[in-house]
Structure 1
Amino acid sequence: MGPDRKVDVPVYDVSLIRGLWEVRVKTYRQREKKEQERQEKSALTRINQQWQYRIYCKTLKSTERNVLHQYLERSTLPDTACTEHEQQQDVHQKLILQLEGDQWRDFPQELQWMTYLKEWHVRGTKIQRLPDVLPLFTQLIVLRLPKNAISELPPAIGKLTALRELNVSYNRLSRVPPELGDCENLEKLELAGNLNLSELPFELSSLKELAHLDIAENRFISIPVCALRMSGLQLLDLSHNNLTDLPQDMDRLEQLVTLFVHKNRLSYLPHSLSNISTLRMVVVSADELTCVPTKLCSNPAIKFIRLYDNPRAKKREEEKQKTSRRRWKEEERKDGGEKEFMEAYISSLEDRDTVPYSTTKVSISCLL
């Protein structure tokens, strides 16, 4: 290399490079420290729970310990002589909490050590509130609490994001917390027979996986707005409420298969019901019902069931139908022109957009 030749030497700011690496190292160490603390805390929690459980068991009598082990203990697997199906069934049962009978007035204290549970089946007790440790049961899939004395659902229920089925029927609920809308995997929700329940929070419209909604035997005067936005809903039970009409946008429920609206005060059904292609069953009370869509009645794929709650009304309806059939036969013999006019009139109803869409009771008198 000649003495006169020039060489370009790149110049770097070493302090800048060192600063970048120090930030990266610091971030990595912080993450590592947090992970270690999390693991230590988890291990300490398990050890602490085990010791608390052992101490608690020592305070019990032998008979009480046996009762406790029946629904709490899961330390051993079945005998090796058992079949694989029996083993799986036994393990599954150990993941279920079952309480039944009016001797239960509160959840057992030992429940705090059962956060591994998958299902709760609590029925016919005097229990009035859910335990404070409820949000710790993040693995819960089924929560069945029918026929108890529960007066409210805590907002913490929204922490149970794995929950697929919730049954709080026949309790004493007067409201539902909006946090329930955070249970995004919920597929079945039963809230029947709470008597004081008259509305649902709009936040429940985020339950896109919900296929079964039962809010029968409550005080709803209209369908909750959130229910019309549950796009995956297949069964809707609104029976035994105070409904006087159904909304015109019922066809928003594009996957609805079964609709129960009997034991209400409906006088007509909206035309939009006939636009739901998946609909297979509709059950209504016909005491006050005078108008239904012709398409709904004539569709052979739909079981349209009219229930008569009032025996007198049922008898009058039967007599009216017999009379109309007799008159129809007599007039059919007289002249076929009037029959053609009747058929033309009924077919014209299919093109109307007015509400009610059509009527099943048509009375026409012609002066010849």
Structure 2
Amino acid sequence: MPWCCCCCQPQVWNVKAFKYSSWMGHMSWAGQSPASILKLSRVTEGRESPRDQEGQEDQEDLKNQENQVRTSATGRDLSRFAALRGAGPADWQRRPASGHVTWLSCDIIMVGVVSSIRGLWESRIKRVQEEEQEEEQRRSSRRSGASARLSVGVWEDRAVLARLRQKLLTEEGRLVLQIQQEDWKVLPDCLVQLSQVQEWHIHRTGLLKIPHFISSFQNLLVLDLSRNAISEIPKQIGSLVRLRELLLSYNRLQCVPEDLSGCESLERLELARNQDLDQLPDQLRSLRKLQHLDLSMNRFSRVPEVLLELPALEWLDLGGNQVVELPENIHRMEKVHTLWLQRNQLQTLPGGLSRMSRLDTLVLSSNQLRDINPMMEDMVNLRFVNFRDNPLTLDITLEVRRRKRSSQEEQEEQEEDGDREMFGRDFMLMYIREARKRAHAALNIHRVNQANQE
């Protein structure tokens, strides 16, 4: 079916064909191809229109259409039209007044424009189809690459998981993951598939952080990650409500998060030798079951107030810090039986220390103590105390009684025990009595001097 040049619809061509058929002997041009129309036009060349007035009107109408076509046609179509009008055969150069050649020229222009538009759209359609094919190939390539990477990742996870399964042990009915002295700076995500593990023991692996998926291990009872390079405790740790032991000594922790208070079953917490640790959040008072706390070798300058509010606390190590004084109400730690305060900056001991009725082990070596509080004489449950390496005012030497041993090892062990006794409970009691005796003597001398002066 013929097409027009402007709106890509067949109406214009059919109207013209109908006009041709009406005054050219009622010949049916509608639906004819451009070649057929050209042939018929040549046959009828030279005839006069039976109706000149109608022919003139048609000629004017077609001239207007021809001008429109000239305006919208491409350079190639205009060139083709010029060739047909001026450079063609002699019979094409004649232009009778009837307007037949004008009609033929317009038809030729229409054919050229239609051919040009058709070629243009065909090229565009072809280009779009090629682009779609290229895009589909790229998508297929990407899908293939992603599928390949996914396959590689799956196989790698399987290999790592198989390696982790080899680290699983069973101790006292508990499933334990134990890794030591291997390179595991980051724990893989596939470890989540072993969420039934109840204990982690991962030491000296260079581990940099506790993974956030730790919250998936709701059966975890013991988390021992000591001697690594961990710098932060994630907030997800607070979701481990069944956790009993958290051991993070010898790492690089700078603070303890408030979220740790969510571990309501925690009984043992070890944070020794993290160097930059100097305070604890008050929220830890909710750890009502905490019994064992190791804060040694950090930067605490005082005893954290929250420690006085832990009702179950029994064992506390604050050695190797920078503590200058102890709180007067230290006796509020009623259940504490072992207290390590060695290598601090203590100069005096508060009277409240003597009111810790359950205290049986007290280590005060390597401080700046000048005297021993005489109230400590009433600490009947205190079995071991150490005052070694303190600048005490009185020089007391305690004779050590040694028993004979049958072997050299037993002899050395006995000597070590005797060395501790030199600054132990007996030493403390003798020091207090000697200090009291000297105090009384000094008081008597003072009274005598007063009497002589009177």
Q: Give the C-alpha shift of residue 203 in structure 1.
A: 0.4
Secondary structure of residue in 2 paired with 1:301: coil
Pairing 1:70–2:166 present: yes
1:231 shift after superposition: 1.1
Question: Aligned pair in 2 of structure 1 residues 104, 254: CA closer, same or farther (>3 Å)?
Answer: same
Distance 1:204 1:126, change over 3 A: same
Matched, 1:160 2:240: yes
2:320 is matched with which residue? Answer: 240
Counterpart position of 1:142: 222
1:111-149 deviation line (CA, Å, top 9, x unaligned): 110111111111111111111211111111100110000
Distance 1:123 1:274 in 2: 39
Q: CA deviation at 1:196?
A: 0.3
Correspondence for 1:254 among 334, 351, 354 = 334
How far apart are residue 360 of structure 1 and its match?
Answer: 9.9
Alpha-carbon deviation of 1:275? 1.3
State which of 333, 356, 360 in structure 2 corresponds to 1:276: 356
Q: Is 2:250 the partner of 1:175?
A: no
Q: Partner of 1:285: helix, strand, or coil? A: coil
Given that 1:291 and 1:360 are in contact with CA atoms closer than 8 Å, whether structure 2 keeps it comes out as no
Alpha-carbon offset, residue 170 of structure 1: 0.6
* 2:376 corresponds to: 296
Count of aligned pairs between the two proteins: 262
Residues in 2 aligned to 1:65 and 1:210: alpha-carbon distance in whole angstroms: 34
Contact persistence 2:354–2:376 (CA under 8 A): yes
Gaps of 5+ in 2: 1-150, 399-431, 449-454
Superposed CA deviations along residues 75-116 of structure 1, whole A, max 9, x for unmatched, are: xxxxxxxxxxxxx75863xx2111211422111342110111
Q: Which residue is equivalent to 1:21?
A: none
Return the offset for 1:177: 0.4
Shift of 1:205: 0.9
Q: Can you list the C-alpha shifts for 1:312-355, whole angstroms capped at 9, x where unaligned?
A: x58x96xx2259xxxxxxxxxxxxxxxxxxxxxx89xxxxxxxx
Amino acid at match of 2:357: S
Q: Is the 2:249–2:272 contact (alpha carbons within 8 Å) kept by the matching residues of 1?
A: yes
> Structure 1 residues 361 and 216 mapped into 2: Cα distance closer, same or farther (>3 Å)?
farther
The 2-side partners of 1:360 and 1:207 are apart by 46
Q: CA–CA distance in 1 between the matches of 2:161 and 2:312?
A: 46
Which residue number corresponds to residue 193 of structure 2? 113
Q: Deviations over 1:239-297 (max 9, x none)?
A: 00000100011111111111111110101111111112211111102652123332324
Task: Evaluate the alpha carbon distance shift between residue 192 and residue 362 of structure 1 in structure 2; reply closer, same or farther with a 3 A threshold.
Answer: farther
SS of the residue corresponding to residue 321 of structure 1 reads coil
How far did 1:301 drift?
2.2
Structure 1 residues 208 and 62, CA, compared in 2 at 3 Å: closer, same or farther?
Answer: closer
Q: Return the match for 2:396 from 317, 321, 327.
A: 321
- Looking at structure 2, the residues matched to 155 and 214 of structure 1 have their Cα atoms a distance apart, in angstroms, of 21
1:195 to 2:195 alignment: no
Matched with 2:285 is 205
Mark the CA change 1:364 to 1:96 in structure 2 (over 3 Å): closer, same or farther.
same
Q: 1:65 to 1:274 in 2, by over 3 A?
A: closer
Residue 245 of structure 1 aligns with an amino acid whose one-letter code is E
Is contact 2:315–2:338 with CA below 8 Å preserved after alignment? Answer: yes
Choose which of 82, 94, 104 in structure 1 pairs with 2:184: 104
Mapped partners of 2:206, 2:307: distance in 1: 31
Name the SS of the counterpart of 2:283 in structure 1: helix
Helix, strand or coil for the counterpart of 2:293?
Answer: strand
Alpha-carbon spacing, 1:288–1:254, altered in 2? closer, same or farther (3 Å) = same
Q: Distance in 1 between matches of 2:280 and 2:220?
A: 23
Relative to structure 1, the CA distance from residue 219 to residue 68 in structure 2 (aligned partners, 3 Å threshold; closer, same or farther) is closer
Q: For the structure 1 residues 158 and 321, does the alpha-carbon distance in structure 2 shift closer, same or farther, using more than 3 Å as the test? A: same
Distance 1:131 1:192, change over 3 A: same
Q: What TM-score comes out, normalization by structure 2 length?
A: 0.52
**Separation of aligned partners in 1, 2:159 and 2:231:** 33
Task: Indicate the RMSD between aligned Cα atoms, in angstroms.
Answer: 3.2
Partner AA of 1:290 in structure 2? R
Give percent identity, aligned residues only.
Answer: 34
